[in-house]
Chain A
């Protein structure tokens, strides 16, 4: 009992044990965010290798085998190491603050979810140093590349994925229980901030599909080592079955990586437009609709495998349907800004860029959804352009916007606005220079995941590589801004953004170690 009283009244513990043993949602949120930033640079270094090799046609720097390992590890690290943990970190910081809860519902489980991750990625990265090299079958690990033709390190890949899955499921359970059970008295579901709503849906998707990923890697392991034939036609199985199970996981996974960003944008746009969000209810329903549809569109990733015609049509139409709720969201964000008293601080710049560039990614997605057209686009750089547009200026810009937006509350300090603007414009130029030309080379037929290319693609590839180097180095500026803010930033006000609403702004700046130990009184606006 004394220990209980202590946690209530004391600040954080001293030294390294604070971070290892913590049960505090803010500490754990910080851990997730820092971890994700480190992973962003490791995955980014791999992208550097890829773009350096593709700077010119021909093989200059790396062997094709190593190139394949780079594309594979880049994808795995960015998805499971950078984007997903960053959003969990944001959820950890913000969900309790935004619903008036003292902490996450299951604080020890929360710390367990985080600390699994460094070990999982240590295991995954160790494969780079194994005989035969790291996994080289693409992050999608299609059978038989990941079974019959896999390097021996595939075994460690499977178990690393299992650890990431356990971490994600436990983290998602925590978020969902927190939102259902820990809301301040009187806060109804339809009072929840949209960031919280979108994380609720995301957590549901995580719990639903991470077990499917566990199942599919288990079958890979069984096929590799224990003589089963799930993905081998010689035994009556089917390599296409792998793709079905994998994409049943991986399509909802795509929304797992973007729904929380939708939530962030829905918080930022009203603040800097100084208007309440347009169509709150429609936003919630659109998120639910997107989550539902995400379960019945998976085979649009496999239009070229030879599905029956009914399958092609079904998955084409359901995929196109997703444009409707997504369109509702884009419309509502724009309507929120319409006739707003707008200012353009760094978070708002990233948020507006998100809307514009994510929409580009959405539209190329719509092109890819058309089955007969997809036969042409499949496995080209057009696909690479599409999913990088939704993931980089989509998810990653969403994360960066969130960090700039809430950093004053977290750290009590204000970032340097001028440097923030530089960060934005350099990122904006870099990202478009990197990914826009990929549309052209893709439509012209340049295949993805190949270390060499035909001469006619040389100019665009050089542009892409220059853009990638610019974008990558710009993120060092981001790190500099973060460190400068925390160490020597100007003190921030309790309400650093005049248009900001919500419970998280009602606590002092910086947010005390423990907030809302007694539930807040809600004053309805």
Chain B
């Protein structure tokens, strides 16, 4: 067993190539589907590609992670290996931060420069000649060309659902923290209930978010088509919601693994990685709540 102090280099694996094929089918299928909608041509092949690709990707993730979990439980991993996973996850979250950074940058540019310039502010004063009747405001209820981008009747009131959602999501970070503490104390039943509660809070958040979207589309005329306010609103909240969904799936897998008796007080990297991701999603929401809803 002495050689286990060396770094574990896994043998040949078929998961990467399966993942590459799955990714190709998923994204190629998505592209073909969107393309066929635009061309009004048949989309059966695209749908088959997309669905089979998504299935392959899901299977790849299950198989790949199962292989890693099995290796970990066989004791093949050294503390150095553990660090590789930790660093890897941290840098992955950094890449996600940059993804959201780009969209927040877009929001600020639009609010600080683009919209006021369209109303004639600044030393250029040319953009305002395109739509002389346009008046800048934020939230931008009426786009410069309201025929192409129909106006918004009302924006979401931040003190109703968004506030509740803030409480839910911030609360879920604390319940997850409690679950982590319980795991470290080896208090399995507390771990299960705190982790379960976190997932419930996350799913409730998602449910309310979906309700808010339906409300926006059906009653407020706040849509993707309603000019730049709708575009930035749905882009930021939509990608955040997608991340909450991914985070919830991660937590759900962790809960299943807890029920399988996985994780010990000293060794539970997957749990930590999942909770880092969850806290990251939470922090994004706090920025989002402030800059998209409140200000």
Contacts of A122 in B (CB 8 A): 24
Interface residue ranges of A164-220 to B (CB < 8 Å): 166, 169, 172-174, 176-177, 180-182, 207-212, 214-216, 218-219
Contacts of A237 in B (CB 8 A): 110, 114, 227-228, 231
Contacts of A244 in B (CB 8 A): 105, 109
Query: Chain B, 14-46, contact with A by CB distance < 8 Å: what is the 0/1 string?
Result: 111101110110011011101101110000000
Q: With an 8 A cutoff between CB atoms, is B83 at the interface? A: yes
Q: With an 8 A cutoff between CB atoms, is B217 at the interface? A: no
Report whether B39 and A7 are in contact in the complex, using a CB–CB cutoff of 8 Å: no
Q: With an 8 A cutoff between CB atoms, is A112 at the interface? A: yes
Given contacts A4-B76, A107-B9, contact A229 B228 (CB under 8 A): yes
Q: With an 8 A cutoff between CB atoms, is B264 at the interface? A: no
A interface, over-half SS:
helix
Pick from A5, A13, A108, A122 the residue with the most CB of B within 10 Å.
Answer: A108
Report whether A235 and B6 are in contact in the complex, using a CB–CB cutoff of 8 Å: no
Q: With an 8 A cutoff between CB atoms, is A11 at the interface? A: no
How many angstroms from the CA of A174 to the CA of B95 in the assembled complex?
A: 13
Contacts of B76 in A (CB 8 A): 1, 4
Q: How far apart are B212's CB and chain A's nearest CB, in angstroms?
A: 18
Contacts of A182 in B (CB 8 A): 7, 80, 84
Report whether A211 and B96 are in contact in the complex, using a CB–CB cutoff of 8 Å: yes
How many angstroms from the CA of A387 to the CA of B69 in the assembled complex?
A: 47
Q: With an 8 A cutoff between CB atoms, is B224 at the interface? A: yes
Q: How far apart are A519's CB and chain B's nearest CB, in angstroms?
A: 8
Report whether B102 and A152 are in contact in the complex, using a CB–CB cutoff of 8 Å: no
Q: How far apart are B273's CB and chain A's nearest CB, in angstroms?
A: 13
How many angstroms from the CA of A103 to the CA of B35 in the assembled complex?
A: 42
Q: How far apart are B236's CB and chain A's nearest CB, in angstroms?
A: 11
Report whether A1 and B224 are in contact in the complex, using a CB–CB cutoff of 8 Å: no
Report whether B91 and A111 are in contact in the complex, using a CB–CB cutoff of 8 Å: no
Q: With an 8 A cutoff between CB atoms, is B235 at the interface? A: yes
Partner of B27, one of A152, A162, A230: A162
Contacts of A13 in B (CB 8 A): 12
Contacts of A514 in B (CB 8 A): 9
Report whether B99 and A180 are in contact in the complex, using a CB–CB cutoff of 8 Å: no
Report whether A173 and B228 are in contact in the complex, using a CB–CB cutoff of 8 Å: no
Partner of A212, one of B99, B118, B224: B99
How many angstroms from the CA of A107 to the CA of B144 in the assembled complex?
A: 52
Report whether A236 and B109 are in contact in the complex, using a CB–CB cutoff of 8 Å: no
Q: With an 8 A cutoff between CB atoms, is A119 at the interface? A: yes
Interface residue ranges of A91-116 to B (CB < 8 Å): 101-103, 105-109, 111-112, 115-116
Total number of A residues with any Cβ neighbor in B under 8 Å: 84
Q: How far apart are A303's CB and chain B's nearest CB, in angstroms?
A: 14
Total number of B residues with any Cβ neighbor in A under 8 Å: 79
How many angstroms from the CA of A181 to the CA of B87 in the assembled complex?
A: 8
Q: With an 8 A cutoff between CB atoms, is B140 at the interface? A: yes
Q: With an 8 A cutoff between CB atoms, is A22 at the interface? A: yes
Q: With an 8 A cutoff between CB atoms, is B145 at the interface? A: yes
How many angstroms from the CA of A112 to the CA of B225 in the assembled complex?
A: 37
Report whether A108 and B13 are in contact in the complex, using a CB–CB cutoff of 8 Å: yes
Contacts of B118 in A (CB 8 A): 233, 236
Q: With an 8 A cutoff between CB atoms, is B183 at the interface? A: no
Report whether B235 and A236 are in contact in the complex, using a CB–CB cutoff of 8 Å: no
Q: How far apart are A485's CB and chain B's nearest CB, in angstroms?
A: 28
How many angstroms from the CA of A112 to the CA of B94 in the assembled complex?
A: 20
Report whether B145 and A234 are in contact in the complex, using a CB–CB cutoff of 8 Å: yes
* CB nearest to A227 among chain B residues: B225
Partner of A177, one of B11, B31, B88, B234: B88
Report whether A210 and B95 are in contact in the complex, using a CB–CB cutoff of 8 Å: yes
Pick from B32, B102, B234 the residue with the most CB of A within 10 Å.
Answer: B102
Q: With an 8 A cutoff between CB atoms, is B149 at the interface? A: yes
How many angstroms from the CA of A395 to the CA of B149 in the assembled complex?
A: 45
Q: With an 8 A cutoff between CB atoms, is B280 at the interface? A: no
How many angstroms from the CA of A472 to the CA of B230 in the assembled complex?
A: 49
Contacts of B149 in A (CB 8 A): 229, 234-236
Report whether A211 and B102 are in contact in the complex, using a CB–CB cutoff of 8 Å: yes
Q: With an 8 A cutoff between CB atoms, is A487 at the interface? A: no
Q: With an 8 A cutoff between CB atoms, is A56 at the interface? A: no
Report whether B9 and A233 are in contact in the complex, using a CB–CB cutoff of 8 Å: no
Contacts of A221 in B (CB 8 A): 34
How many angstroms from the CA of A489 to the CA of B223 in the assembled complex?
A: 66
Report whether A226 and B98 are in contact in the complex, using a CB–CB cutoff of 8 Å: no
Report whether B28 and A159 are in contact in the complex, using a CB–CB cutoff of 8 Å: yes
Interface residue ranges of B84-125 to A (CB < 8 Å): 84, 87-88, 91-92, 94-96, 98-99, 101-103, 105-106, 109-110, 113-115, 117-118, 122-124
Q: With an 8 A cutoff between CB atoms, is B160 at the interface? A: no
How many angstroms from the CA of A238 to the CA of B37 in the assembled complex?
A: 26
Given contacts A17-B12, A237-B114, contact A216 B102 (CB under 8 A): yes
Contacts of A1 in B (CB 8 A): 74, 76
Q: How far apart are B122's CB and chain A's nearest CB, in angstroms?
A: 6
Given contacts A235-B143, A309-B123, contact A108 B64 (CB under 8 A): yes
Report whether A173 and B88 are in contact in the complex, using a CB–CB cutoff of 8 Å: yes
Report whether A123 and B144 are in contact in the complex, using a CB–CB cutoff of 8 Å: no
Q: With an 8 A cutoff between CB atoms, is A315 at the interface? A: no
Pick from B14, B20, B24 the residue with the most CB of A within 10 Å.
Answer: B20
Question: Can you list 10 pairs linking A and B with CB atoms under 8 Å apart?
Answer: A7-B10, A21-B13, A115-B19, A122-B24, A123-B28, A153-B35, A216-B102, A230-B232, A233-B144, A241-B110
6 cross-chain pairs, A with B, having the tightest CB-CB distances, nearest first: A236-B228, A215-B102, A234-B145, A228-B231, A211-B99, A112-B16
Interface residues of A (CB under 8 A from B): 1, 3-8, 13, 17, 20-23, 101-103, 105-109, 111-112, 115-116, 118-120, 122-123, 152-153, 155-156, 158-159, 162-163, 166, 169, 172-174, 176-177, 180-182, 207-212, 214-216, 218-219, 221-222, 225-230, 233-238, 240-241, 244-245, 248, 306, 308-309, 514, 517-518
